[in-house]
Structure 1
Amino acid sequence: MIEDELREAFARHEAQAPPLDPLRRAIDGLAARRRRRRTVTRTGAAAVAVALALALPVQLWRGGLEVPLPLGVGASTTAAPSGPLNLLLLGLDGSGSVRNARTDTIMLVHLPADGSQAYLVSIERDLATDMPGVGTTKINGVYSRGGVEAARDAVQRLTGIRADAVAEVEFSALRSVTDTLGGLPVCLPEPMRSQHTGALFPAGCRDYTGDQVQDLMRQRKILLHGGYDRDRVGQRVLLGLAKKAGDRSLLSDFWVVSQLARTPGITLHTGDLSLLGLAMRLDRVEAADIVGISQPTFYVTKIDGVFYEQLDPAVAPGLFRALRDDTMSAFAQAHPAWVLQE
């Protein structure tokens, strides 16, 4: 009798029980936040470093926040692929229109299938490329001639890799995000004096404001290896973003997340990928496992009176093969000169 009454009571209240999935996600989120307190930098931080735009879907998904994202992203329900993933970051020097912008920072972000690390592979701005209908041009000028798809196609022709998603980030957006986070820690191997402002950036690690970070990212002619050293500065800035995002515990600060979500100058093109699927893949990467890769030396050529950079003929083919074959760990071990050193 008592057993029957209990069954009837449970049946009456079953419809009132909350759905289990949100509760499970909340418990998982709480456990993740506790783990982050112990390990300092974890996952969401890596997402910020991978792309300013990509960090926001991760934070909103994991925190259950509802903030409008002006990222120009259409609805998509296809999950991220289980294999390796390649994202293309385009840092735009100039704003207002595509015609006025150059992609002076071009970076492929490779996420291996096993989720072990993220590789930031820089592509030098002055590399010679053949653009259909134009001929030989510098790869940083392709964007101003044909927009984001032309830039993606140029990278594909160069590497043999089709980017699964593309993020366009104006330098002004980087400045704004830096100030919203209260500055970024950037570590420089040697002192630099700005060719634009005369400011001195000392060797070592220190916090920089948004204006200082933007100034750092624009340096090239004063550096020993020109654009190649500039690419490594950009990688160091992204590592600083990862560290700062972890330190700030963005999930617990709704105001900061809201400000980041409304930063102008960030556009994300995901194609068939869903933001949720992308966030889930980025969530597997820890900030300490982001590896910078860039060509260390010059290979200059002159075509029709114009100087261009060329890829290292011995090593670059192996780099692109490693990206295609998902063997970047072996490449990094075999070519330490190409790896960013702290």
Structure 2
Amino acid sequence: MIAAVAAALALVVTGIAWQRIDSLRSSLASIGGLGLGGGEDGAVDILLVGTDSRTDAHGNPLSQRELDALRAGEEVANNTDTIIMIRVPNDGRSATALSIPRDTYVDVPGIGMSKINAAYGATKETTRLELVESGSDAAEAETESTKAGREALIESVGDLTGVTVDHYAEVGLLGFVLLTDAVGGVEVCLNAPVDEPLSGARFDAGQQTLEGPDALSFVRQRHGLPRGDLDRIVRQQVFMASLAQKVLSAKTLSNPSKLNQLTAAVQRSVVLDSDWDIMDLATQLQGLAGGDVTFSTIPVEDINAMTDYGESVVQVDPDEVRDFVAGLVGRTSDDRAPDDDRTTSATPVPDIEPSTVTVDVTNAGDVAGLASVVSAELSSEGYVEGEVGNYTGSAVSSSTVYGADEESDETRAVAAALGGLDTATDPTLPEGTVRVVLAGDYSGPGTSTFAGSESTTTSSSSGLTPADGTATPAPAAPPIDAGSEGPRCVN
């Protein structure tokens, strides 16, 4: 659903007449002041959130007919049951969607350790009550508390993944149904028949096409599945892969009626941050093919962990999550300046023996003693300490790892170990030796702002125990892509 929203936006913008662009822009719901980034790391990181809101994107209550079709009841809810980070390199050549389980146990700003899906709703309600008690009217309290909830979720996701969120998009239950129906339904495949009353999921085994409410029941079911929410995420991913594939297909591109339906669906159901120009997104994604869209899930230490007060949560290791994200969405060549002939580190990280590499570290920035600290960090990883001191060359603005060959495994491994620095060739260096130049932009290991440092790393294991006595881990599985023939069969 969520990745397809981005694809649908791009498709709508590129498919409609240019004179209608301004109309589409003006009709989209937007929010501002979320403290977002700007893609300076070579890619745009989009936090895409699926909520169980009973209103449309503009805050209008859904009709009784729509609520009945959603099979979701009428209770007031602010849960963010689908949380996905999408990484789109600045050249738009791919899109990687990373799912975060809703019960992931994280440090939520202002709340403490909690399930990540509570960041939005709990923060919103706490803020709303505070505003009402201080004299704010209901409308103002609703607006400001919703913003606070979104900000808390953005910060929680950023802290967990080590990635700065550049843009924010939100879609409710109605939007999911409208987008699915706009493309004429989506194909799915089940390993076994399903009859689960809580979600309304009643399906035969095998391949089938689902529309609107049935599609919503398919991706919402978690009871009766072997791994609960983790299996639900897999369902969501295979569904999104099929939906994205259909949205990007020539049949949709060439069908004016489907384009009109997609336009209407996006207008009514999608909320974007106000600094996000949809034309930029369309330009980035216009060459995207199904096989370029992949879906993954963060690694999990225990899917059935229990807090000391009896709440069931999903336990993760923040360091492992950040390492996984860094390897999954490594920096691209767009990170460097247009006149810079250096290349950046690539992923996956090369598998080398650190003890075979000598690392010289020089400090070209203003932080006293940084070279020594960084050298010590590398030594702790097994690298051989080389020369350490201040940089004496011409002024530099970007931290760089130099090697005899910028593409060598040694050069790339050290660059990755320092948070994904640029690499460059220095033919005067012998093989097996690399030189690190630390500029004012350095924020990797050895700095207080590094995502993996003790000052910012929050362990989610404190106070958690396996619910059944033995942890049930869920390592990151191979990614699912939107270019395969036919849907993947799942539980």
TM-score (norm: length of structure 2): 0.52
Give the equivalent residue in structure 1 for 2:174.
172
Q: 1:109 aligns with which of 86, 89, 93?
A: 86
Structure 1 gaps of 5+ residues are 1-47
Give the equivalent residue in structure 2 for 1:250.
252
Letter in 1 for 2:12: Q
1:1-342 aligned within 5 A: 50-52=3-5, 55-65=8-18, 66=20, 68-69=23-24, 70-73=27-30, 83-96=42-55, 100-113=77-90, 115-144=92-121, 145-146=123-124, 147-196=149-198, 199-247=201-249, 249-263=251-265, 264-269=268-273, 271=275, 273-295=276-298, 298-299=302-303, 300-312=305-317, 315-323=320-328, 325-326=330-331, 330=348, 337-340=477-480, 342=488
Q: Shift in Å at residue 81 of structure 1?
A: 6.2
Cα contact 1:170–1:265 (8 A) shared by 2: yes
Q: Shift in Å at residue 231 of structure 1?
A: 1.1
Could you tell me how far apart the structure 1 residues matched to 2:476 and 2:10 are?
33
Cα contact 1:80–1:274 (8 A) shared by 2: no
Could you tell me how far apart the structure 2 residues matched to 1:80 and 1:230 are?
30
Gap change, CA 1:131 and 1:81, over 3 Å in 2: closer
Higher relative contact order (CA 8 A, sep 6+): 1
Give the equivalent residue in structure 2 for 1:44.
none
Cα contact 2:39–2:166 (8 A) shared by 1: no
Could you tell me how far apart the structure 2 residues matched to 1:269 and 1:262 are?
19
Could you tell me how far apart the structure 2 residues matched to 1:203 and 1:296 are?
29
Gap change, CA 1:193 and 1:57, over 3 Å in 2: same
Secondary structure of the corresponding residue to residue 152 of structure 2: helix
Cα contact 1:103–1:141 (8 A) shared by 2: yes
Secondary structure of the corresponding residue to residue 193 of structure 1: strand
Cα contact 2:199–2:221 (8 A) shared by 1: no
Give the equivalent residue in structure 1 for 2:130.
none
Give the equivalent residue in structure 1 for 2:430.
none
Could you tell me how far apart the structure 2 residues matched to 1:161 and 1:294 are?
15
Secondary structure of the corresponding residue to residue 93 of structure 1: coil
Gap change, CA 1:212 and 1:316, over 3 Å in 2: same
Letter in 2 for 1:95: R
Cα contact 2:120–2:153 (8 A) shared by 1: yes
155-164 vs 201-210, greater mean Cα deviation: 201-210
Could you tell me how far apart the structure 1 residues matched to 2:279 and 2:247 are?
19
Could you tell me how far apart the structure 2 residues matched to 1:194 and 1:328 are?
45
Cα contact 1:166–1:270 (8 A) shared by 2: no
Letter in 2 for 1:137: S
Could you tell me how far apart the structure 1 residues matched to 2:318 and 2:153 are?
22
Percent identical: 29
Could you tell me how far apart the structure 1 residues matched to 2:11 and 2:286 are?
7
Secondary structure of the corresponding residue to residue 262 of structure 1: helix
Larger Rg belongs to: 2
Cα contact 1:95–1:101 (8 A) shared by 2: no
Letter in 1 for 2:315: Q
Cα contact 2:39–2:45 (8 A) shared by 1: no
Gap change, CA 1:122 and 1:197, over 3 Å in 2: closer
Could you tell me how far apart the structure 1 residues matched to 2:220 and 2:260 are?
28
TM-score (norm: length of structure 1): 0.73
Could you tell me how far apart the structure 1 residues matched to 2:315 and 2:28 are?
34
Could you tell me how far apart the structure 1 residues matched to 2:113 and 2:39 are?
35
Cα contact 1:57–1:279 (8 A) shared by 2: yes
119-128 vs 255-264, greater mean Cα deviation: 255-264
Secondary structure of the corresponding residue to residue 249 of structure 1: helix
> When the two structures are aligned, how many residues end up with a matched partner?
289
Could you tell me how far apart the structure 1 residues matched to 2:259 and 2:317 are?
41
Structure 2 gaps of 5+ residues are 33-37, 60-75, 125-148, 332-344, 350-474, 482-487
Q: Shift in Å at residue 232 of structure 1?
A: 1.4
Secondary structure of the corresponding residue to residue 100 of structure 1: coil
Cα contact 1:63–1:251 (8 A) shared by 2: no
Could you tell me how far apart the structure 1 residues matched to 2:16 and 2:232 are?
35
Could you tell me how far apart the structure 2 residues matched to 1:301 and 1:262 are?
43
Gap change, CA 1:197 and 1:210, over 3 Å in 2: same
Gap change, CA 1:304 and 1:325, over 3 Å in 2: same
Could you tell me how far apart the structure 2 residues matched to 1:83 and 1:105 are?
26
Render the CA deviation track for 1:195-247: whole Å, top value 9, x for unaligned.
42554334443210111110011111211111111111111121121222234
Q: Which has the higher helix share?
A: 1
Gap change, CA 1:111 and 1:190, over 3 Å in 2: farther
Letter in 2 for 1:59: V
Q: Shift in Å at residue 49 of structure 1?
A: 6.7
